[in-house]
A and B are shown apart, each in its own frame.
Chain A
Amino acid sequence: MASPFESYDDLEDADERLQAADPAERRVAIIALGHSGDPAAIGHLARMVDDPDAGVRQQVAMALGEFDGPEAAAALVKLLVDPERIVAAAAADSLAEFKDPASADVILPLVKHSHAFVRMGALRALKELRRKDTLKPALEALQDGDAAVRVQAIGVIGFLKLEESIPALTSLINDPDAHVRRAAVSALAFSHMKPAAETITRALKDEDWMVREMAAETLGLNVNGAVAADQLIASLDDAFWQVRLKAVRSLGKMKIERAVRPIGNCVTHEQANLRKEAAAALGEIAGADGEPFLVMIANDPDPDVRKNARWAQHQIAAKKAKAGA
């Protein structure tokens, strides 16, 4: 009977199999090397990046994704600039799973590549590596003509969480592309400095509803979010209920007492999702002036709304009892 265990001798005849005349056979050999988990396979795979068959190169790009570190990254970088899109896309996906910061050295130069797809792939890979020396090239990439590249650059900068990048992220609030503005708002959440919160606040007036939604949500995650309380209250009149909903949630989370009435006015909105969130926020703030609104929805047709209203009333009662005692 053959061994019942998976083999760990995958590399034995690798070179011979990688030189097979039939590209399908080379592919099969590459799959085996990828699955081997043996770092010695990286060298074998790296020698295949110039294979004449695009399908084979794509397979190499996928197989290299099973590894991490500079050697595998160096091979993937060559595949990321491959003229065939299927190869480059596989390389970009593989690089995105890398975690070893040392991989950044070989990826960095590609941030200035002539093709937008390559620049994007490189930045996407750098994000998770969180290396300080990637900040400068990422900041430069914020000037990129391609919006998708700028979005990835924001990620690199945001993941590093360095206060020095706030001015650059702030300037993106006027970017012509809504995806870029949305990403910038999300990235700014980490900052402990007031200007970041102020920038996010400005985004509450963005022309794109998804940017406004992101801004309303992000303020709830930012330590200085409360500076925007009045603007968030103003957002409770936003044309999109999705934006109002996030504003309600952030105001609730920050326990803004003067928001009780404006939030209360949302409990009659036709969208149950918003009514439900308003009830929850009234409970989080637990101000006694929220009670009349909760009474209004005690018999709301939507059980989720009733549920949150009951919970909120309980919170208010608990707060009163505590104050009394």
Chain B
Amino acid sequence: MAIDEIVDGLSEVSCDVLVIGGGTAGPMAALKAKLKNPKANVVLLEKANVKRSGAISMGMDGLNNAVIPGYATPEQYTKEITIANDGIVDQRAVYKYAENCYKIIEELDGFGIRFLKNENGDYAVKKVHHIGTYVLPMPNGETVKKALYRQLRRARILISNRYMATRLLTASDGRVAGAISVNTRTAEMLVIKAKAVILCMGAAGRLGLPTSGYMFGTYENAANSGDGYAMAYHAGAKLANLECFQINPLIKDYNGPACAYVAGPFGAYTANNEGKRFIECDYWSGQMMLEFYNELSSGKGPVFLQLKHLHEKTIEEIESTLHKVERPTRGLFQQGRGVDYRHESIEMHISEIGFCSGHSASGVFVDDFARTTVPGLYAAGDMASVPHNYMLGAFTNGSVAGIDAMEFADNHDFAQFDAADVAAERDRVMAPTKREDGIPPNQIEYKTRRLVNDYLQPPKVTRKYELGARRLAEVRQDAKERMIARNAHELLRALEAQSILDCADMAVHASLFREESRWGLYHLRTDFPEKDNENWFCHTLLGKQDGKMVSEKREVEPYIVPIAEEEKDLYDKQRIAVGA
């Protein structure tokens, strides 16, 4: 038998709450929903396998944004994020996260997840930023997924691995009614009716192409192909600030950070070719990336992570985390290059572009209850719009989503969808399998992502974006009419290629809509180089109207933690001018 042979099939199940994505936010959402109503059916659908899926497949080396009493306050954190995100923040969701995240840390600790503690059992919180203290290292954080999986099994969550969700089902009144999915090894289709659906499908990490040219060498888990963004869009949900791309500083050619949050508390820092620090901005942000980019493209690059000045014992301690947790092949990579941190600095570069609210702010628009603009539909984690979330935000907001979604399910019956929608989606999904001849998904994807790099990577130039859009439309047509999948695995890639195309289109549309520059490198438009608070101090929401992509402005909610002018000034003075 040939591998991954296509089997024709369609079946249907139903549940109270459907969680799509079993990475970080998803397991927490499923668990909380089930604990809220143990009698209800909770399905956790995952494209890979919940045991090791998502951004934290090999765990996490630390919390970057832990708001722990005695070290930081929710007010302080909310201010910090508001400023880091150039003011475009609905603070309620950020504040709620900040208030709840300590409780979640305690809960995760109870699951057996290991955070760094002093010998008196207190969390060993570290200072990286110059105002707040938010970093809690996890040198033994490689077991996070194991601990989560254990909780899911204990709660008897219905886990469905190797099913890729392709579209959401909605009722005529717009309410969510469930989802359609396809088995990644047999291509059998599964319709899941649900009263409420939570999207936890991660970043759009396979949008840009890594400079190595290896398609799966992305910063984000390469399984995170932006399917959630595409599904939310097609279901009519609004997506916020997609032009605020994610770009990260990484080890050159390797897809992991060096990592400032691990090595920083020990005294390591990012320096230019002269061995000098150059980053002015404090919090990880688009401004920081702009400074990084400028240094790389000036004569002062390359950029390095400097550790040589540290004591041998300190470097050993850093290595024990860097080479074991989150990106364990980091050590193997450096070894292959003959780089020893004791004698040589680590060459750094910047990552390909993507969408990810976890590090920036591009995500499906949600309120402080993780509700999207589609009734019954929720989103959490890297794909939801609460900015600078990181892993702890995914857990915390996943928890918020799980509880509220179950409440919604308890108060609503199933919404009715049109059977024709299922039939149409089945035709769309299976189309690449019906062709005898055509273009394989890897070529469609490569071309899309190569165009993303060529035309969409900041600095953003209007003319380049227009050309990029034209070329992407040609690829889209090829994907629609000529893409071929010869087995179920290729079909998975074919469907992902379509999500990637959707995300590329959204990146173009959102970027052209906001006619100013904001968020440092993330949205640096050469045709509109200045920040324009008068016209653009707002969210942008992208959505689908009559089958077309549209964007609109949305006011930023009034702040609940006011930021004094002088505080803004203080930060602004620390910044270098755009394009300087």
User: Which among B110, B190, B309 is the interface contact of A271 at CB below 8 angstroms?
Assistant: B309
A214-228: contact bitstring with B at CB < 8 Å (1 yes, 0 no)?
000010010000000
Kindly identify which residue among B114, B154, B267 contacts A273, using a CB–CB cutoff of 8 Å.
B267
Q: Is A280 an interface residue (CB 8 A)?
A: yes
Q: Are A187 and B570 in contact (CB under 8 A)?
A: no
| Distance of A182 from chain B, by nearest CB (Å) | 9
What separation, in Å, do the CA atoms of A38 and B120 have in the docked complex?
A: 33
Question: A36 an interface residue at 8 Å Cβ cutoff?
Answer: yes
Say yes or no for A13: interface residue by CB 8 A criterion.
no
Q: With A242-B267, A310-B570, A311-B570 in contact, is A1–B9 under 8 Å at CB?
A: yes
Which bracket fits the contact residues of B?
35 or more
Q: Does B160 contact A (CB under 8 A)?
A: yes
In the complex, residue of chain A having the shortest beta-carbon distance to the beta carbon of B49: A6
Q: In whole angstroms, how far apart are the Cα atoms of A271 and B268 in the complex?
A: 11
What 1/0 mask marks residues of chain A from 3 to 33 whose CB sits below 8 Å from any chain B CB? 0111010000000000000000000000000
For B188, the chain A residues whose CB sits under 8 A away are 1
Interface centre among B120, B121, B153, B188 (most CB of A within 10 A): B120
**Segment 9-30 of B: residues with Cβ below 8 Å from A:** 9, 11, 13
CA A240 to CA B149, docked complex, whole Å: 45
Instruction: Give the interface segment out of A44-52, A103-111, A112-120, A301-309.
Output: A301-309
Q: Which residues of chain B are within 8 angstroms of A271 by Cβ–Cβ distance? A: 309
| Residue A154 at the chain B interface, CB threshold 8 Å | yes
Beta-carbon contact of B121 and A159 below 8 Å: yes
A186 / chain B contacts, CB cutoff of 8 Å: 118-120
Whether the pair B160, A5 counts as a contact (CB closer than 8 A) is yes
Instruction: Kindly state whether residue A293 has any CB partner on chain B within 8 Å.
Output: no
Nearest-neighbor residue (CB-CB) of B566 within chain A = A314
User: Which single member of B118, B161, B278 contacts A189 (CB below 8 Å)?
Assistant: B118
User: Which residues of chain B are within 8 angstroms of A68 by Cβ–Cβ distance?
Assistant: 112
CA distance A273 to B153 in the complex (A): 47
CA distance A308 to B188 in the complex (A): 59
Number of A-B contacts (CB under 8 A): 111
Which of B150, B156, B163, B309 counts the most chain A CB atoms within 10 A?
Answer: B150
Closest to B161 in A: A6
> Which residue of A96, A303, A310 contacts B277 across the interface (Cβ within 8 Å)?
A303
Q: A8-B156, A242-B267, A310-B570 are in contact. Are A97 and B121 (CB under 8 A)?
A: no
Check A190 against B280 for contact (C-beta < 8 Å): no
Asked whether B546 is an interface residue with its Cβ less than 8 Å from the other chain, the reply is: no
Chain B residues, CB < 8 A from A303: 277-280
Is residue A291 within 8 Å, beta carbon to beta carbon, of the partner chain?
no
Distance to closest chain A CB from B199 (angstroms): 19
Known A210-B313, A272-B277; contact A66-B118, beta-carbon cutoff 8 A? no
Q: Complex: how many Å from CA A307 to CA B282?
A: 9
Which residues from chain B contact A130 at a C-beta distance below 8 Å? 121
In the assembly, what is the distance between CA of A130 and CA of B109, in Å? Answer: 14
A69 to B416, CA, bound (A): 46
A190 touches B282 (CB 8 A): no
Choose from B121, B311, B573 the contact partner of A158 (Cβ within 8 Å).
B121
Interface string of B273-297 (1 = CB under 8 A from A): 0001111101000000000000000
Q: Are the CB atoms of A4 and B160 closer together than 8 Å?
A: yes
- A98 contact set on B, CB distance < 8 A: 112
Interface: A78 (CB within 8 A): no
CB distance from A68 to the nearest CB of B (A): 8
Q: Is A37 an interface residue (CB 8 A)?
A: yes
Q: Select from chain B the residue with minimum beta-carbon distance to A271.
A: B309
A183 CB–B CB distance under 8 Å: yes
B311 touches A242 (CB 8 A): yes
Using an 8 Å CB-CB cutoff, how does the interface string of B150-167 with A read, 1 for contact, 0 for none? 101110101111010000
For residue A209, which residues in chain B have a CB less than 8 angstroms away from its CB?
311
Q: Mark A290-324, 1 if CB is under 8 A from B, else 0.
A: 00000000000111100110110010000000000
Asked if B134 is at the interface (CB within 8 A of a chain A CB), the reply is no
In the assembled complex, the Cα of A304 lies from the Cα of B119 at a distance in Å of 31
Q: Check if A4 sits within 8 Å of B130, measured CB to CB.
A: no
A310 with B119: in contact, given A37-B150, A302-B276 (CB under 8 Å)? no
- Please indicate the chain A residues that have their CB under 8 angstroms from the CB of B43 in the complex: 5
A301 contacts which of B121, B146, B160, B276 (Cβ < 8 Å)? B276
B143 interface neighbour in A97, A154, A242, A311, Cβ under 8 Å: A97
Query: Which residues between 112 and 127 of chain B lie within 8 Å of chain A, taking CB atoms?
Result: 112, 114, 118-122, 127
Is the CB–CB distance between A307 and B147 below 8 Å?
A: no
Q: Which residue of B lies closest to A67 (CB)?
A: B150
The verdict on A154 contacting B570 (CB below 8 Å), with A99-B110, A303-B280 known, is no
Residue of B nearest to A308 (CB): B130
Decide: B573 and A310 in contact? CB cutoff 8 A.
Answer: yes
B570 and chain A: residue at smallest CB distance: A314
- The proximity string for A residues 162-191 relative to B, scoring 1 for CB distances below 8 Å and 0 otherwise, is 000000000000000000000110111110
Which of B51, B276, B277, B574 gathers most chain A CB within 10 Å? B277
By CB atoms of chain B within 10 A, which of A97, A161, A190, A301 has the most?
A97
Task: Report the minimal beta-carbon distance from A11 to chain B, rounded to whole angstroms.
Answer: 12
Could you say which residues of chain A place their CB within 8 Å of the CB of B77? none
Over the window 85-101 of chain A, the binary record of Cβ atoms lying under 8 Å from chain B Cβ atoms (1 yes, 0 no) is: 00000000000111100
Point out the residues of chain B lying under 8 angstroms from A301, CB to CB: 276
Q: Is the CB of A161 within 8 A of B121?
A: yes
The contact size tier of chain A is 35 or more
Q: What is the interface of chain A mostly: helix, strand, loop, or mixed?
A: helix
User: Closest approach, in angstroms, between the C-beta of A208 and any C-beta of chain B?
Assistant: 10
A155 at the A/B interface (Cβ < 8 Å)?
A: yes
Any chain A CB within 8 A of the CB of B269?
A: yes
- Assembly CA distance A1 to B190 (angstroms): 10
User: Closest approach, in angstroms, between the C-beta of B317 and any C-beta of chain A?
Assistant: 10
User: In the assembled complex, which residues on chain B have CB atoms less than 8 Å from the CB atom of A190?
Assistant: 120-122
**Which residues does chain B contribute within 8 Å of A240, judged by CB atoms?**
311
> Which residue of chain A is the closest to B274 with respect to CB atoms?
A301
Q: Does A269 contact B (CB under 8 A)?
A: no
Cβ of A258 within 8 Å of any chain B Cβ, yes or no, is: no
A307/B574 in contact, CB under 8 A: yes
Q: Is A194 an interface residue (CB 8 A)?
A: no
Whether B112 lies near A99 (C-beta < 8 A) is yes
Residues of chain A with a CB closer than 8 A to B149's CB: 35, 37
Write out the residue numbers on chain B whose beta carbons fall within 8 Å of the beta carbon of A249: 127
The interface residues of chain A lying within 8 Å CB-to-CB of B11 are: 1, 4
* CB of B452, distance to nearest CB on chain A (Å): 32
List residues of chain A with CB within 8 A of the CB of B118.
158, 186-187, 189, 218, 221
- A158→B119 contact, CB < 8 A: yes
A189, B122: Cβ atoms closer than 8 Å: yes
Complex: chain A residue closest to B188, CB-CB: A1
Closest to B280 in A: A303
CA distance A221 to B71 in the complex (A): 11
What are the residues of chain A within 8 A of B277 when measuring CB–CB?
272, 302-304
CA distance A190 to B570 in the complex (A): 36
- Docked CA distance A159–B276 (Å): 41
> Contact between A5 and B130 (Cβ–Cβ < 8 Å)?
no
Distance from A317 Cβ to chain B, minimum over Cβ atoms (Å) = 10
Alpha-carbon gap, A302 to B188, bound state (A): 59
Chain A proximity of B565: nearest CB distance (Å): 13
Q: Which residue of B lies closest to A189 (CB)?
A: B120
CB <8 Å contact, B130 and A187: no
Q: How far is the CA of A97 from the CA of B159 in the complex (A)?
A: 24
Chain A residue contacts of B160, Cβ below 8 A:
4-6
Known contacts A1-B9, A187-B119, A302-B276, A38 near B112 by CB under 8 Å: no
Task: Enumerate the 5 nearest inter-chain pairs by beta-carbon distance, A residue then B residue, closest first.
Answer: A37-B153, A97-B112, A159-B121, A187-B119, A186-B119
Complex A-B: 14 CB contacts under 8 Å? A1-B9, A35-B149, A35-B153, A37-B154, A99-B112, A127-B121, A154-B119, A158-B119, A161-B120, A187-B120, A189-B118, A272-B269, A303-B277, A304-B277
Besides the known contacts A1-B11, A4-B190, A310-B574, 15 further A-B residue pairs in the complex with CB atoms under 8 A apart? A1-B9, A5-B159, A6-B158, A35-B153, A36-B153, A66-B146, A97-B114, A240-B311, A242-B311, A272-B277, A301-B276, A303-B280, A304-B277, A304-B279, A311-B131
